[in-house]
């Protein structure tokens, strides 16, 4: 079956301009060759530290940013080069939920107007039908009917995120990109929003690209997880394989920091990452992770490890596995 979303070799480089003539003096390699697919009704969690390019992937997939290279297909149709007119039907099918529900909601519009705006923009339904649809959406995401007349500042953070979700749902999308949609919320509210997203996925067969820096959040909602480091995916597999047997030292380090008791990562040797993520303007040669990897070998500085299937369904990009599967921690002992 054709996946709903196929991304192949996606790159997004931002030119850095300097001087009076704004000459390009370099690039930020925010996304540097990323490939993945998402099936219908599936959630792919995209995880990594701040600045690794995960949010840029989400925005580029939706064509909110223009890709530098690579292809984006929706249900087998290449949308990479479509102009704004031809892209319009896909804008309905692909929606976004933002990290900061307050900043993403127009403070001068009522919640009802915010949720109904996409219907208006796409000229869908008569005014009365739009009103009914908005009311149904409010009910579905757990907002009181009278809240349609309130303004964003009158809601709590969790309620504002429900407004953002209702707005994203208004056009009956097939794929929603969640850009850290629960990161700004209290932990108890996070669970409510994640449960709501999972219920909506079951009900509407939605697919999610769920961008997060928190592996505990991703473990709960994702079917598969892709781990990103400095613009590249370094490991991708189903969540169980990742949590039980991470094959990339970076994933191992992220997992060893997960504080949740039910995680199978508990009891693992703790791997403390030293240093910050290097700049995406001048990323390290070879394996981007070699400057922080406790298992780096001389070849890691010069040879880029390919993202390949180390065991069935489990992809990793690390020279440690060139001679077969090897647990990163075992390699160090
Ligand atoms: Fe570490 Fe080398 Fe593997 Fe990169 S390729 S993660 S530096 S061991």
The string of DSSP codes covering 219-240 is HHH-SEEEEEETTEEEEEEEHH
242 alpha carbon to ligand 1 midpoint, in Å?
Answer: 17
Q: What would the two tokens of residue 177 be?
A: 């990109």
Residues whose CB is less than 8 angstroms from the CB of residue 160 and which lie 6 or more positions away in sequence, other chains included: 101, 102, 105, 152
The residue to mutate among 229, 284, 288, 289, having the most atoms of ligand 1 within 8 angstroms of its beta carbon, is 289
Distance CA 170, CA 179 (A): 18
**225-235, pLDDT tens digit by residue?**
999 999 999 99
Ligand 1 neighbourhood includes 246 CB (under 6 angstroms):
no
Ligand 1 atom nearest to 293, measured from its CA: 1
Confidence band of 273 (pLDDT split at 50, 70, 90): confident
**Domain limits for position 304:** 247-333
The answer to whether position 302 is within a domain reads yes
Confidence band of 259 (pLDDT split at 50, 70, 90): low
The answer to whether position 303 is within a domain reads yes
322 alpha carbon to ligand 1 midpoint, in Å?
Answer: 11
Distance CA 282, CA 228 (A): 17
**pLDDT, position 265:** 46
Q: What would the two tokens of residue 126 be?
A: 């008569």
310 alpha carbon to ligand 1 midpoint, in Å?
Answer: 14
Q: Cβ-count burial of 308 within 10 angstroms (0-12 exposed, 13-18 middle, 19+ buried)?
A: exposed
The answer to whether position 309 is within a domain reads yes
Beta strands 232-238 and 314-316, pairing class: antiparallel
The answer to whether position 324 is within a domain reads yes
Let me know: does 83 contact 91? Beta carbons within 8 Å: no
The answer to whether position 160 is within a domain reads no
**90-138, pLDDT tens digit by residue?**
999 999 999 877 788 899 999 999 999 999 999 999 999 999 999 999 9
Ligand 1 neighbourhood includes 295 CB (under 6 angstroms):
yes
**pLDDT, position 65:** 96
329 alpha carbon to ligand 1 midpoint, in Å?
Answer: 12
Ligand 1 neighbourhood includes 253 CB (under 6 angstroms):
no
Ligand 1 neighbourhood includes 162 CB (under 6 angstroms):
no
* Residue of 19 and 58 predicted with greater confidence: 58
Distance CA 110, CA 70 (A): 39
The answer to whether position 29 is within a domain reads no
Ligand 1 neighbourhood includes 290 CB (under 6 angstroms):
yes
The answer to whether position 296 is within a domain reads yes
**pLDDT, position 261:** 55
Q: Which of 28, 12, 4 is nearest to 65 (CA)?
A: 12
Ligand 1 neighbourhood includes 293 CB (under 6 angstroms):
yes
- Residue that is written with structure tokens 């009956």 in the block: 172
The answer to whether position 103 is within a domain reads no
Counting the structural domains of the chain, the total is 1
User: What is the 8-class DSSP label of residue 264?
Assistant: T
Residue 20 has pLDDT above 80, yes or no: no
């Amino acid at each position: 079956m054709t996946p709903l979303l196929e991304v192949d070799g996606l790159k997004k480089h931002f030119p850095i301009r300097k001087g009076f003539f704004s000459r390009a003096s370099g690039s930020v390699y925010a996304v540097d060759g990323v490939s993945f697919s998402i099936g219908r009704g599936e959630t792919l969690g995209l995880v990594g530290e701040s600045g690794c390019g995960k949010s840029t992937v989400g925005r580029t997939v939706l064509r909110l940013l223009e890709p530098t290279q690579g292809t984006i297909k929706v249900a087998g149709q290449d949308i990479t080069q479509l102009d704004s007119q031809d892209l319009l039907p896909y804008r309905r099918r692909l929606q976004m939920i933002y990290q900061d529900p307050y900043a993403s909601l127009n403070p001068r519009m009522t919640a009802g107007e915010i949720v109904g705006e996409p219907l208006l923009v796409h000229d869908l339904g008569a005014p009365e039908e739009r009103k009914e649809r908005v009311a149904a959406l409010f009910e579905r995401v757990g907002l009181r009917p009278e809240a349609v007349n309130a303004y964003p500042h009158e809601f709590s953070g969790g309620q504002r995120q429900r407004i953002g979700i209702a707005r994203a749902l208004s056009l009956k999308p097939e794929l929603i990109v969640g850009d850290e949609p629960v990161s700004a919320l209290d932990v108890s509210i996070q669970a409510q929003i994640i449960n709501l997203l999972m219920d909506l996925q079951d009900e509407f067969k939605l697919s999610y690209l769920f961008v997060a820096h928190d592996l505990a959040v991703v473990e709960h909602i994702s079917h598969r997880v892709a781990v990103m480091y400095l613009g590249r995916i370094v490991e991708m597999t189903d969540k169980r394989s990742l949590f039980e047997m991470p094959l990339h030292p970076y994933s191992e380090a992220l997992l060893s920091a997960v504080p949740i008791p039910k995680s199978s990562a508990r009891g693992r040797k703790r791997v403390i990452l030293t240093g910050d993520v290097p700049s995406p303007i001048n990323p390290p040669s070879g394996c981007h992770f070699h400057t922080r990897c406790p298992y780096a070998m001389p070849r890691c500085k010069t040879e880029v490890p390919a993202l390949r299937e180390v065991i069935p369904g489990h992809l990793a990009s690390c020279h440690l596995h060139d001679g077969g599967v090897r647990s990163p921690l075992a390699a160090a002992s």
